[in-house]
């Protein structure tokens, strides 16, 4: 919001009454300004979070949704940036203690994997006779996007997941946007 300068003649009753009306108008608009300020910050966070999730190399961002929730009660505005990730059924292979490939089944939440990555990415490559975990740069696994009855369907290929931290980066973006948003709204 642009700066507003009010001129007042302190010796004029009418001028003082006009000043009082202008100040009361500003006070009356504070709640709406604060709501708009919070919404503006949340929008900047959602923009960054979506971009981080969509640009993730592992493509799990397509299974994450972002939304904002703003509540107002007793003069307090609360804004929440909410992310929801689908839980996907996964299947991957690891090498057991005898060096034999072993199928492992489980589930993975797309949001958690995108925010924090997977242990397979964090661990150093394990090869040869020390291959107790089977994690390496070539680790592959699969997750099912659907099911028909008890049968899993629509299998997708994946590898170890590097974290892109969409929610963390959204927080940083909102924090950096506070001053600009305040200038626009107040």
Angle between helices 166-185 and 13-54 (to 10 degrees): 160
Q: How confident is the model at residue 132 (pLDDT cuts 50, 70, 90)?
A: very low
Maximum CA extent, the chain: 95
Residue 136, C-beta contacts closer than 8 angstroms, at least 6 positions apart: 125, 126, 127
Which class for 177: exposed (0-12), middle (13-18), buried (19 or more C-beta within 10 A)? middle
- Check pLDDT > 50 for residue 133: no
- The rounded distance, in Å, linking the Cα atoms of 120 and 163 is 11
Q: Which of 37-41, 59-63, 93-97 has the highest mean pLDDT?
A: 37-41
Q: How many CA atoms lie within 13 A of 134 on its CB side?
A: 17
Q: Characterize the bridge pairing of strands 64-73 and 76-85.
A: antiparallel
Beta strands in the chain (DSSP E): 64-73, 76-85, 87-95, 101-109, 140-148, 151-159
Place of tokens 């929730």: 69
Q: Count CA within 13 A, CB hemisphere, residue 48.
A: 21
pLDDT band at 179 (very low <50, low <70, confident <90, very high): very high
Domain range for residue 65?
1-186
Average pLDDT over residues 4-21: 82
Please measure the distance between the N-terminal and C-terminal CA atoms of the chain and give it in whole angstroms: 6
58 within 8 A of 159, measured Cβ to Cβ: yes
Provide the domain count of the chain. Answer: 1
**pLDDT given at position 120:** 56
- Residue 127: the pLDDT is 37
**pLDDT > 80? residue 75:** yes
Half-sphere exposure of 125 (CA within 13 A, CB side): 7
**Residue written as token pair 């299947």:** 91
Q: In which band, very low, low, confident or very high, does the pLDDT at 113 lie, cut at 50, 70 and 90?
A: confident
* pTM greater than 0.75: no
């Amino acid at each position: 919001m642009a700066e507003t300068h009010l001129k007042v003649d302190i010796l004029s009753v009418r001028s003082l009454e006009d000043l009082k009306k202008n100040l009361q108008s500003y006070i009356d608009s504070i709640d709406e300004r604060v709501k708009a300020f919070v919404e503006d910050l949340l929008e900047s966070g959602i923009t960054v979070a979506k971009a981080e999730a969509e640009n993730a190399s592992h493509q799990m961002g397509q299974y994450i949704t972002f939304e904002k929730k703003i509540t107002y009660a007793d003069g307090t505005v609360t804004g929440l940036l909410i992310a929801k990730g689908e839980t996907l059924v996964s299947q991957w292979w690891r090498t057991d203690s005898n060096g034999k490939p072993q199928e492992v089944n489980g589930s993975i939440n797309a949001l958690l994997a995108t925010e924090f990555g997977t242990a397979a990415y964090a661990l150093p490559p394990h090869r040869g006779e020390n291959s107790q975990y089977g994690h390496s740069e070539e680790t592959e696994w699969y997750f099912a996007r659907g099911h028909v009855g008890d049968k899993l369907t629509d299998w997708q290929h994946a590898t170890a997941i590097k974290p892109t931290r969409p929610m963390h980066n959204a927080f940083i973006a909102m924090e950096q946007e506070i001053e600009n948003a305040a200038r626009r709204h107040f």
